Amino acid sequence: MIMFKLLWLIPALPFAGFIILALTGSRLTRTRTAVIGAGSAGLSMVITILTGIRFIGSPPPGNAYVQVLWTWMSVGGFRPEIAFRLDALSLAMITVVTAVGFLIHLYSSEFMAGDEGYSRFFAYMNLFVGSMLTLVLADNLLLLYLGWEGVGLCSYLLIGFWYKDTYNGYAARKAFVVTRIGDTAMGIGLFLLFTVLGTLQIQELMQRALQQWGSGNVMAGAAAALLLGGALGKSAQLPLQTWLPDAMAGPTPVSALIHAATMVTAGVYLIARTHVLFSLAPLVQAAVAVIGAVTLLIAGFSALTQSDIKRVLAYSTISQIGYMFLALGVGAWSAAIFHFMTHAFFKALLFLGAGVVILGLHNEHNMFKMGGLRKQLPLTFWTFLIGAASLSALPLVTAGYYSKDLILYSAWASEAGSPLLWAAGLAGALLTALYTFRMVFLVFFGEEKTRVERKPGMQIKIPLIILAVLSIIGGFVETPASLGGLHIFTKFMYTALPPVVNLPLPATGEFILEIEAALAPPIGIFIAYLFFLYRPRYTGRLASTPSGSALHRFWFSGWGFDWIYDRIIVRPFLWFARIDKNDFLDLPYLGTIWAGKGVNRLLVHTQTGKVRWYAVGIVIGAILALSAMVFL
Amino acid sequence: MILIWLIIIPFLGGIIAWYSDRLNTALPRWISLIALTFDFALLLALWFKPGIVLPPAGNLVQGSTMWLAELDRSWVPQLGISLHLAMDGLSLLLVLLTVFLGITAVASSWTEIQDRVGFFHLNLMWVLAGIIGVFLAMDLFIFYFFWELMLIPMYFLIALWGHENRFYAAVKFFIFTQVSGLLLLIAILGLYFIHARNTGVYTFDYLQLLGTYMQPATEFWLMLGFLIAFAVKLPVVPVHTWLPEAHTEAPTAGSVILAGLLLKTGAYGLLRFTIPLFPRAAFEFAPIAFVLAVIGILYGAVLAFAQTDLKRLVAYTSISHMGFVLLGIFAWNETALQGAVMQIICHGVATGALFILVGALQERIHTREMGRMGGLWATAPRIGGVALFFALASLGLPGLGNFIGEFLVLLGSFRVNIAAASVAAVGLIAATVYALWIIQRVFHGPNTFNWRMPDFRGREMIIMAAMIIVIVWLGLYPQPVFNKAGQALGNLQRSVDIIEIAKPRLSRAGDTRRGLSLFTDEAKRSRRIGTVPGVPMEAVNGR
């Protein structure tokens, strides 16, 4: 148990790192800053791994360990605690968060070396890791909400890290405000849950929901829908996905850590954590699947048209989280978490590789100005290729294949699944391979256009290598029936999450599904090869037709969502703020002032200083007074 | 006697500070600081005094057992006026806030005020004395006396040491509060005579006036008198328009006291007087109060965003935040009331800090126009960091005290009125917009005007550190405050319950307050358990 007692240290260490860095400001040397920043994340990782070994070796009773630190507050029956819960789900999450987090800290210590805000960067990063760990370890929804908003804050701070550029500030604010729209829905969901069920402690809440609500209950539906609102914002799913592409304004390690590997998957975690509610609300759960399917397609098409390498990866992230939502929507909770894990590896790897390219080319983001970099950056090329293959779900050899295959299979075979959802996923898989290898070919193949100025050092190379290895072997813990049928990951997850309920399917059926899922990526890669390496002219010709260019613009701008939101929300808000700057509710009072002044101006005329006028006034007044006495 | 000392110390401190001006201009500052530190020490002694055991539910506790400290001396027995001061947990918290913000106000005007320093501190200390009096008075006559006492020194603070448009702002402030104060006076007298007619006893004593029987129409009009006076102070939209002017034009210390404390006297009045004295009328009014609160939250936030004058922006955020307080008070269950109290305290500290920040910026760059700022982070990272912290507190970031306040208010009022709470929650988004806008316009972006300025040091850093610690403490472990306030709020709720039980034949508007609880099983269960018919659901549910 002694190992479990250290659970609180896992989020506390990064928080401590943040406090030290925030208080010392830029007075520490860069080396010490990096040691504190990366060291606190590293220590946290070590404790996580030791705890994980202990947890798997001899699981605590009930497969969960809860550590209560103190009672946050106790008001009117509302008694949330500062308490952490370790179970299979949170263990998987914190392992990925601390491991990927530490690697990215290590990477950043070199990547950010020349930046004047070095200590500020590590302070924010540590605050992020601490908040993210709080989010996934929280035992009640209020503490989860604290971590939830904390990671949102860090996302804002790090997107706008280079604050002197006004655009970065805009992107940062957009991210915070859009996600906060979802967060507010989630907040209302918490009010509803507490009001009706009387607790926010997650396990207790789920039990009471099961007891008090039947399947299809309206309350359960409302609560699930409100929580889903929060998840959509945080995980950049339709219709709140618009902030993520702009969030690429932040430094590249930030995009890797926050906007690919960890924070954006918080929505997936939330739904998996509260899966009971979603099971009780089949309509909402179906909506999750549909949103996931639509999002993965929409974002895939947008990724296909981007020229900024980071925006391709951003849209790709939206699309891959779409897969996770699809899995959640069909009840394959473990498959979603599995894909979260492999995605964290390969997407972080891709971002870090893109960071090397961007740094090497003097902050160049445009893929059309890159090319042939495979000779100049060999290690980056090979690791990037592995990441790309894993993202494309290249069969057998990549982690991404096993997780995506599991999702596609569940989308077909699960009770809540449907061939349509499966088809969307399959089309998405083809699309993924297409846009991914478009990127690879544009950046690393073809003619060399520029010289790389800055070659990566060890602190950058080590994370790339480790993540590349994980992007390959990370999937071998779970294989389909035809490839050995290993179920290590899902079996472990089943201690915290219910298994997916599959309809009986003949073995040949399963095999056919697998073949189809395995064929889509190579086809996509082949098309990418055809259009972007072998005959690039085709692409130009296709894009220059009127309908082709219109479609290109439409996809490039993210399907016009920004345009619509600008018209129906942003502009009316700004318009109202502009016309009402002086507060028209003040007008009645100003009117009183004007009236007073007006009457004053009128009465001033009676002060003439002429005795005749006064005498007349006295006479008139006397007559009026007398007649009033007589007649009334 | 300790209570009267709490008032006398700043009162005398002010007079001494005024005279000491002639010897040395630094002296008034030190004298004020020392006087307030004395007060603070007295309050800490009261804080750590062993608490009083909560009486069993359903019993209104009269007399000395419900107070942490009390002073009751007959003053004008012919008219039933007595010098009745008393302190329960609620008053303790608010007086503590008063003295704390008083100290920060003195410290933050250390270099800003160079003109008539002695007289400035006289006014400052007298405002504080008046506010403390308001929070302690348990005799309506004395209460009204202190209520008026706060205004005049505040008027001078704005009119003499304010900014460009100070006379207009001071007069506007004075007229708004004076007119509404007059309504309060009429309502107090009305209550006084009705009580005398019922019982033959002429008294201004709060505890005796509680539960005075009157016709519903009469009750409504008297309630309105009490309500309007406090609503103007809070302020409630649409009687808020004095606030932006007054806050903007006042010197820093004046703004801190206005936002941090004067607004809170309005909230306190609603809590202590309006609802307990006229519960049925107040609950009938509750739906309107909810609407006004929600409008205030959203309207204040949008207008805050619309401003270009940084100080005016912060002023408008107060309107938005006080909407939450109004919502919580009229929801009148334990959760919402505790949330309102927490919001009162945290808003006082956080907004006070923002006004100090604006004052510090104005002292350095001589402008409040956000169009003339930008990129200040590079030249003054500490100011930037502190501003970021309080902007985040202002937008309700979890882990900071303001979140606790807003969350509990919304949680408590959701039970009473789902629509109001849900729409009010949208205010959190609007708050994000204006809070981030401050950071963007002032600290981020390019430093177009090439500002170079000294960063926070020594004195300013100490003030800010103290305020940050309070906000973080209340965000992570607010229980001490809830414990202090809980007993007082429980007494207030019980006093209302008893009045309602005593007159079951009169219709109650309690139904509107139940809302969602109608279909919760827990509520059904507690209704079955609930033994006293007519006790509002929260009374059973909440404890």
Residue A120's contacts (CB-CB under 8 Å, 6 or more residues apart) are: A21, A26, A161
Residue A512 vs residues A392, A424, A517: alpha-carbon distances, Å: 19, 17, 9
Q: Which two tokens stand for residue B277?
A: 């004295």
Q: Is A502 helix (H, G, I), strand (E, B) or coil?
A: strand
Q: Are residues B329 and B406 in the same domain?
A: yes
For residue A196, the chain B residues in CB contact (below 8 A) are 516, 519-520
Name which residue leads in pLDDT, A111 or A532: A111
Would residue B504 count as lying in a domain?
A: no
| C-alpha to C-alpha distance for B482 and B485, rounded to whole angstroms | 5
For residue A207, the chain B residues in CB contact (below 8 A) are none
| C-alpha to C-alpha distance for B406 and B396, rounded to whole angstroms | 7
Measured from the Cβ of residue A335, the count of other Cβ atoms closer than 10 Å reads: 31
Which B-chain residues 464-483 have CB contacts (< 8 A) with chain A?
476-479, 482
| C-alpha to C-alpha distance for B409 and B327, rounded to whole angstroms | 7
Reported as a pLDDT band with limits 50, 70 and 90, residue B502 is low
Q: Check residue B500 and give its pLDDT.
A: 62
Burial of B428: CB neighbours in 10 Å, binned 0-12, 13-18, 19+: buried
| Range A447-453 average pLDDT | 80
| C-alpha to C-alpha distance for A308 and A252, rounded to whole angstroms | 13
Please answer yes or no on whether B398 and A146 come within 8 Å at the CB atom.
yes
Q: State the nearest Cα–Cα gap between B542 and chain A, in angstroms.
A: 5
Q: Is the pLDDT of residue B314 over 90?
A: yes
- Give the start-end residues of each E strand in A45-177: 64-71, 81-87
Would residue B460 count as lying in a domain?
A: yes
Nearest chain B alpha carbon to A186: B425
Reported as a pLDDT band with limits 50, 70 and 90, residue B527 is very low
Would residue B217 count as lying in a domain?
A: yes
Averaged confidence pLDDT in chain B: 85
pTM: 0.90
Q: What is the DSSP secondary structure assignment for residue A501, as one 8-state letter? A: -
Q: Are residues B83 and B215 in the same domain?
A: yes
Q: Is the pLDDT of residue B56 over 60?
A: no
Please answer yes or no on whether B414 and A195 come within 8 Å at the CB atom.
yes
Choose the weakest-confidence range: A184-193, A378-387, A605-614: A605-614
Which A-chain residues 80-139 have CB contacts (< 8 A) with chain B?
82
Q: Which of B439, B517, B518, B537 would best serve as a mutation to test chain A binding (most A beta carbons within 10 A)? A: B439
Q: Is B83 helix (H, G, I), strand (E, B) or coil?
A: strand
Q: Check residue B353 and give its pLDDT.
A: 94
Residue B520's contacts (CB-CB under 8 Å, 6 or more residues apart) are: A195, A196, A198
Q: Are residues B68 and B174 in the same domain?
A: yes
Q: Check residue A180 and give its pLDDT.
A: 93
Q: Are residues B282 and B253 in the same domain?
A: no
Q: Is B454 helix (H, G, I), strand (E, B) or coil?
A: coil
Q: Does B407 touch chain A (CB under 8 A)?
A: yes
For residue B425, the chain A residues in CB contact (below 8 A) are 184, 187-188, 191
For residue A190, the chain B residues in CB contact (below 8 A) are 411
Reported as a pLDDT band with limits 50, 70 and 90, residue B515 is very low
Q: What digits encode the pLDDT tens for the residues B89-117?
A: 899 999 999 999 999 999 988 888 788 88
- DSSP track, A289-355: HHHHHHHHHHHHHHHHH--BHHHHHHHHHHHHHHHHHHHHHTT-HHHHHHHHHHHHHHHHHHHHHHH
Q: Are residues B242 and B320 in the same domain?
A: no
Q: Are residues B137 and B283 in the same domain?
A: no
Q: Check residue A393 and give its pLDDT.
A: 86
Q: Are residues B326 and B433 in the same domain?
A: yes
- How much is the CA Rg of chain B, to the nearest whole Å? 23
Q: What digits encode the pLDDT tens for the residues A316-356?
A: 999 999 999 999 999 888 889 999 999 999 999 999 999 99
Q: Is A396 helix (H, G, I), strand (E, B) or coil?
A: coil
Please answer yes or no on whether B440 and A146 come within 8 Å at the CB atom.
no
Total CB pairs under 8 A between chain A and B: 151
Would residue B379 count as lying in a domain?
A: yes
Q: Check residue B372 and give its pLDDT.
A: 87
What is the percent of chain A with per-residue pLDDT over 90, rounded to a whole number? 40
Q: Check residue A266 and give its pLDDT.
A: 92
| Range A513-518 average pLDDT | 79
Nearest residue to B327 (alpha-carbon basis) of B302, B348, B282, B297 = B297
Which A-chain residues 183-202 have CB contacts (< 8 A) with chain B?
183-184, 187-188, 190-192, 194-196, 198
Q: Are residues B221 and B288 in the same domain?
A: no
Q: State the nearest Cα–Cα gap between A349 and chain B, in angstroms.
A: 31
Would residue B489 count as lying in a domain?
A: no
Most trustworthy range by pLDDT among A52-56, B66-70, B298-302: B298-302
Phi, psi angles (nearest 5°) of residue B241: -75, -10
Domain boundary among B428, B451, B476: B476
Would residue B482 count as lying in a domain?
A: no
Q: Check residue B501 and give its pLDDT.
A: 57
Residue A155 near residue A175 (C-beta atoms within 8 A): yes
Q: What digits encode the pLDDT tens for the residues A140-183?
A: 999 999 999 999 999 999 998 998 888 998 999 999 999 999 99
Please answer yes or no on whether A191 and B421 come within 8 Å at the CB atom.
yes
Q: What digits encode the pLDDT tens for the residues A397-422?
A: 888 888 888 888 888 888 888 888 88
- How much is the CA Rg of chain A, to the nearest whole Å? 30
For residue A243, the chain B residues in CB contact (below 8 A) are none
Query: How many CA atoms does the CB half-sphere of A503 hold within 13 Å?
Result: 13
What is the percent of chain B with per-residue pLDDT over 90, rounded to a whole number? 51
Would residue B34 count as lying in a domain?
A: yes
Averaged confidence pLDDT in chain A: 88
Strands B69-76 and B81-87: antiparallel
**Closest partner residue to A583 among B303, B339, B482, by Cβ?**
B303
Q: State the nearest Cα–Cα gap between B400 and chain A, in angstroms.
A: 10
Domain that holds residue B163: 1-270+511-543
Q: What digits encode the pLDDT tens for the residues B248-292?
A: 999 999 999 999 999 999 999 999 999 888 988 888 898 999 999
Q: Check residue B519 and give its pLDDT.
A: 37
The secondary structure element, H or E, covering residue A162 is none
Q: Are residues B366 and B218 in the same domain?
A: no
| C-alpha to C-alpha distance for A474 and A467, rounded to whole angstroms | 9
Reported as a pLDDT band with limits 50, 70 and 90, residue A394 is confident
Q: Which two tokens stand for residue A296?
A: 């993965």
Q: Is the pLDDT of residue B513 over 50?
A: no
Q: What digits encode the pLDDT tens for the residues B130-163?
A: 999 999 999 999 999 999 989 999 999 999 998 8
Choose the weakest-confidence range: A535-549, B329-343, B525-539: B525-539
Domain boundary among B450, B476, B502: B476
Measured from the Cβ of residue A560, the count of other Cβ atoms closer than 10 Å reads: 12
Phi, psi angles (nearest 5°) of residue B84: -105, 105
Residue B354's contacts (CB-CB under 8 Å, 6 or more residues apart) are: B314, B317, B387, B390, B391, B394
Name which residue leads in pLDDT, B57 or A199: A199
| C-alpha to C-alpha distance for A344 and A264, rounded to whole angstroms | 10
Q: Check residue B63 and give its pLDDT.
A: 47
Q: Are residues B195 and B309 in the same domain?
A: no
Q: Which residue has the tokens 């478009």?
A: A438
| Range A63-90 average pLDDT | 89
Structurally, how many domains does chain B consist of?
A: 2
Measured from the Cβ of residue B254, the count of other Cβ atoms closer than 10 Å reads: 33
| C-alpha to C-alpha distance for A322 and A297, rounded to whole angstroms | 8
Choose the weakest-confidence range: A220-229, A421-430, A451-460, B159-168: A451-460
For residue B297, the chain A residues in CB contact (below 8 A) are none
Which A-chain residues 211-240 have CB contacts (< 8 A) with chain B?
212
Residue A199 vs residues A78, B477, B490: alpha-carbon distances, Å: 7, 19, 22
Q: Which two tokens stand for residue A177?
A: 């405000």
Q: Are residues B289 and B371 in the same domain?
A: yes
For residue B520, the chain A residues in CB contact (below 8 A) are 195-196, 198
Residue A566 near residue A312 (C-beta atoms within 8 A): no
Reported as a pLDDT band with limits 50, 70 and 90, residue A510 is confident
Q: State the nearest Cα–Cα gap between B307 and chain A, in angstroms.
A: 6
Would residue B339 count as lying in a domain?
A: yes
Domain boundary among B451, B476, B501: B476
Q: Are residues B262 and B305 in the same domain?
A: no
Residue A436 near residue A364 (C-beta atoms within 8 A): no
Q: Which two tokens stand for residue A358?
A: 């961007």
- DSSP track, A239-274: TSTTHHHHGGGS-HHHHHIIIIISGGGHHHHHHHHT
Q: State the nearest Cα–Cα gap between B249 and chain A, in angstroms.
A: 15
